[in-house]
Structures are given as C-alpha cells and as structure tokens.
Structure 1
Amino acid sequence: MFRYSSTRAAGRISGFAWVVTVAAAMLTACAPMPPAAGDAHTASPLAAQPSQSTTHSADGPLPVPVNLIALTQPAGQRRLMSSAYNQSYWPLSQYFETQRNEAYCSVATSVMALNALGIRRPESSLYPDFPFFSQQDFFRAIDPQVANAAKVSREGMTLDQLSAALGTFPVDVKKFHASDLTLDQFRNLVRDTTARHDRFALLNFRRVEIGETGGGHWSPLAAYDTASDSALLLDVARYKYPAVWVPVAQLYAAAQAVDSVSGLSRGLVIVSNAAN
C-alpha cells in the first residue's frame, strides 16, 4: 500500500565523475544536495527564492528559513510548552541522535524511536554492559536483502525499506504514502501520534518544499501546535539544521514529493509498541 527514499554521496571529485556522483546523490534518501535544474517544475515556490532574503540566523551552520521557527527561539519554546500534543517530544528528545553519516537519517530516526519506545534493548557493541539500540548495530538482525549498512551508507532507505527493516523489531509499523492521504488525514495522523508518548511519527520528506537546502530526508515529528497548525521536526542532521516548527501544509507538500528511486510519494511511518 505504500513506500519511499532519500540520500547523498559527496567528495572532492572532478570532471565526469563529479557529475555522476551528484546525479546519483539526488536519487536517494538523505541527499543534502538541492534539486537539479531539470526538477524545477516540482519544486516549491520557496526554493526559487534567494536564501539571503528567505532566512534568518539560527544555532546551526545553515540559517533557518523565515517560514520556520527554531525550537531554540523563545517563540519555538513557548509553542512546545503550550501545545496539548507534545507527548512524543519528551521520550524522543531523551534519546536524540545525530545521524552518523549523511545517508543515515533513516537509521538515526529509527534508533531514536526504538529506544524511546522502551522495548527490550539488544546487546550493544558500543556499551557492552548496557543494552541499547544504536546506529552502529541497527542492521545486526535485519535481512541484508531488505537493507544493509554498506548500501544504506551510500543511498539511504526508501519508505518500504525502512518499514520492512523496522518490522524486524518487536514494534507495530504502519506506513502511509502522502499521496494516499488528504491534508486533513495527514494532519490527524501527526496530531494523534504526537499526543502519545508510546507512538512516534517518522517523516520522509523533501527539504526544498519547506524552504531548506537539500534533498530527501527522514526525521521524527515530536509535537503539534493547533494555533499555528505546525509540527515540530527533530532534525537528525543536527550539524545542518536545528529542530524546527514547520507548517503542516508544507510538511504535507514535502511528504508528497515523489521519491525518484521508488517513483512514489514519500510520507509517514508510524511505530508503536506491539502491545499497543
């Protein structure tokens, strides 16, 4: 019923090899590169505006677009504290992860959710005396035909891949292509999930639709604010952008963006404890 993806490769390459690398990066899951000129017809109006006129300073290396509110700003903090739908924030923030490489957004997002769910944790190679879900060990029990560390490090994961990979763990997994949802249905999923501390919404989206620099990406949603009709995106590429409040209509448009690998829209994966 559904699927997705995103990524990026990079490096100091020249000539033809450089062109091939950039083209490949644009097809995948966490690709931080902006869309190619040929994709302009699918871009958001925000993407066409010069960054100098559409951004303001923030606490990350890239400025936050003016249509977004950083959680570190007073307005962002007030929005979180006043929201009736902020229960996902507390467990997710406790286990926040920054992705290990530029294609591991799906892995970092998943590890945050698995640890936050409080399910039985596996033995950890990082912390031998303390069971813990980690990006380093994420693929240990996953069928390599579904997803493997080497390939994901280059290409990231589609919606179908991440959904199947998470199905390896003792959690309930539901995936939703944004193209199968109306805006109201999408909003209801976000609102109802963020009202829970034991269920999390993992968003696959394209950055350009929310005014940011980059391609496809994964990050969890941690809260919803009714007054501003916005959701809090806990960006796992923290070296690039801080956590931000994004208007739900823009998140919906970003999730509807077609994944060039699967040929389908992006969307949401909802994970919860299997007992729920």
Structure 2
Amino acid sequence: MSRYSLKRTVGRASRPTWIAVLLMTAALAACAPAPVATSQAPSQTASPVANQTTTQKSVAQPSTQAPPATVQSADGPLPVPSNLVALAQPAGQKRLIGAAANQSYWPLSQYFETQRNEAYCSVATSVMALNALGIRRPASTLYPDFPYFSQEDFFRGVDPQVANAARVSHEGMTLDQLGEALNAFPVVVQPYHAADLTLAQFRDLIRETTRRGDRFALLNFRRVEIGETGGGHWSPLAAYDAASDSALLLDVARYKYPAVWVPVAQLYAAALAVDNVSGLSRGVVVIGKRQG
C-alpha cells in the first residue's frame, strides 16, 4: 500500500478500524507477523498499490502450494512441513555433507543469529552475512572491546530515510529497501527480483552463490509457498544440493522453525510472491566482498 493510499483509507475509517489497517499493512512487509484484529467495527479492505514508479510486470501467483505443515518434528515450536527436510535430521546432515555447493554454510553457521524481534528478519540475516564475510567490523555497543556487526548497531550508518530501527521494528524491509540499506556497508550488493528471473536462472544464482564463502544469498520469500505458517520473511541460503534440487534455508526465526532444506521450485514460487508494501515480487539480495 502506498502512503498516499493508506492516508486516504485512514481518513475514511473509524479510529478502531484505522488502527487495524495500519497494523495489517505493516505486517505485510518483510517479516512482521499479522496481528489479530480485535475491533468490532466493520472491516475495510485497503486499496491496492498504485502509481508504482517501476516497469516491472505483475506476477501471477502459482496455482499450487506446498503441502500443509503436519509431519516432521522440529527444533522449534512448529512442525516442519512434510515437503521440507530439517538440517538436524540425519537426511538433512547427509545432504549438507554431500552437496557440492555448501561453502556458504560454514562461515554463515559460525555467525548464526536469531532475529531480536519479529520484524527484524532482514536485519538478523544481514548481520550474519556481514560478519561471515570477514570484512572490517565496526565498534560494537554490545562488545566494547571487540568490533562486531550487531542487530543493535545495524542502522548506525544507514540513511534514516532509507530505513531506521523504529520503522523496521514494525514493518520489516522490502527487497529494494534492504539492498539500499546494505550499500552503507563496505560490500558489493546485487538485488534480484524473482519476477526478473526464470526458475533456471534462480537455481543457477543460488548454486553459484552457495559454492562460495565470500558471497551470500539473502532470500526474501513468503512462507506459505513452502508450506510454513506465516507471511513474508528473510533468511540466508547456505547450500544447494543438486540430487534433491533443494537449498538450505538458515531460518533466523529459530524460535519458530529450524534450518530446513527446501525444493528450489518452491523457493522460487515463494520469492515470486508479491510484497504488499512495494507491489513487486520478492527475491534475492546477493552481497559479497569488494574487490581491490
């Protein structure tokens, strides 16, 4: 929803209703959870995103979705869907060891983060990757004697007009917003909207990135397309297994789901899902070390 459309909607609604509209709009961003409305006032549907300044075409949503989550046990409180394989299971461990493209896993796992609030998935994902790259780290408020990228300090050098802690704590970040925020750090940033990639190109991007330990793929996706509960989310991809055509998703919401192997076709469908804030498809942000 554009800010103009939201403002018009708010102006027409009663106070209880416009509060619910504001909360729901924020929840449709990167990974903020959708709240339950408690108002008894008649519901109103927010107007669709309009007047986008991009030429990207609208993306038709896949007609089929992953099976419902019911089968495997999980490290977290929610069951892992039957179409996914948890990394902690023997089959998941075997897949990681046998994968040719698994070099992203080792540095990322060393700096694994849990998002500090339910809308900070983009921040936790970014901090993991920044520390794993081995680039020069900034002074840390958490660890005064040890430079370190942290979620608490992430926005210190980011233009507040692009993103700031208060806003992201409620809304999360879109694909382009995170890409722009990461430009404040000494890294090379390449955002890819899934709508601009074929399935084959998406697969190649994941495989070639996870082959390396100096570049990382940060995935923006919608959970329902892979059979999980929830909306939009961010997490890094750490490996690709050709035999099963699946990628390893290191979920930063570790209180909810463990790291899992996801079929690439379902990851692609999840990345194609339109972000209701930007009106564009989700996708992948690749970050790497600057050369020279």
* TM bin (shorter chain): 0.7 to 0.9
Letter in 1 for 2:277: V
Letter in 2 for 1:266: R
Provide Cα deviations, 1:163-187, integer angstroms capped at 9, x if missing partner. 0110011100001000000000000
List runs of 5+ in structure 2 lacking aligned partners: 1-15, 36-44, 46-59
Q: Could you say which residue in structure 2 is the equivalent of 1:23?
A: 24
- Contact 1:234 1:244 (C-alpha < 8 Å) held by counterparts: yes
Q: Could you say which residue in structure 1 is the equivalent of 2:214?
A: 198
* 2-structure distance, mates of 1:44, 1:132: 44
Assess, with a 3 A threshold, how the Cα gap between structure 1 residues 193 and 73 changes in structure 2: closer, same or farther. same
> Secondary structure of 1:139's partner?
helix
Q: Which residue of 265, 276, 282 corresponds with 1:260? A: 276
Question: Pairwise mapping of residues 55-94 of structure 1 onto structure 2 (< 5 A)?
Answer: 55-94=71-110
Letter in 2 for 1:270: V
- Contact 1:33 1:213 (C-alpha < 8 Å) held by counterparts: no
> Secondary structure of 1:56's partner?
coil
* 2-structure distance, mates of 1:74, 1:18: 47
Q: Could you say which residue in structure 2 is the equivalent of 1:247?
A: 263
Q: Could you say which residue in structure 2 is the equivalent of 1:148?
A: 164
Q: Which residue of 273, 285, 292 corresponds with 1:269? A: 285
Letter in 1 for 2:232: G
> Secondary structure of 2:280's partner?
coil
2:218 is equivalent to residue 217 of structure 1? no
Q: What is the percent sequence identity of the aligned residues? A: 75
Letter in 1 for 2:29: T
List runs of 5+ in structure 1 lacking aligned partners: 1-14
* 1-structure distance, mates of 2:33, 2:223: 8
Q: Could you say which residue in structure 2 is the equivalent of 1:178?
A: 194
Q: Which residue of 163, 168, 187 corresponds with 2:179? A: 163
Q: Which residue of 159, 179, 189 corresponds with 2:205? A: 189
Q: Could you say which residue in structure 2 is the equivalent of 1:6?
A: none
Aligned length: 256
- Contact 1:32 1:213 (C-alpha < 8 Å) held by counterparts: no
Provide Cα deviations, 1:241-266, integer angstroms capped at 9, x if missing partner. 00000000000000000011111000
Q: Could you say which residue in structure 1 is the equivalent of 2:55?
A: none
* 2-structure distance, mates of 1:219, 1:189: 16
The TM-score with structure 1 as length reference comes to 0.87
Q: Could you say which residue in structure 1 is the equivalent of 2:125?
A: 109
Q: How far 1:122 sits from its partner (Å)? A: 0.1
* 1-structure distance, mates of 2:106, 2:137: 19
Q: Could you say which residue in structure 1 is the equivalent of 2:56?
A: none
Structure whose alpha-carbon radius of gyration is higher:
2
Q: Could you say which residue in structure 1 is the equivalent of 2:154?
A: 138
- Contact 2:188 2:289 (C-alpha < 8 Å) held by counterparts: yes
Provide Cα deviations, 1:131-180, integer angstroms capped at 9, x if missing partner. 00000000001110011000000100111110011001110000100000
Q: How far 1:27 sits from its partner (Å)? A: 2.0
- Contact 1:88 1:194 (C-alpha < 8 Å) held by counterparts: yes
Larger RCO: 1 or 2 (CA < 8 Å, sep 6+)? 1
Letter in 2 for 1:229: D
Letter in 2 for 1:205: F
Q: Could you say which residue in structure 2 is the equivalent of 1:118?
A: 134
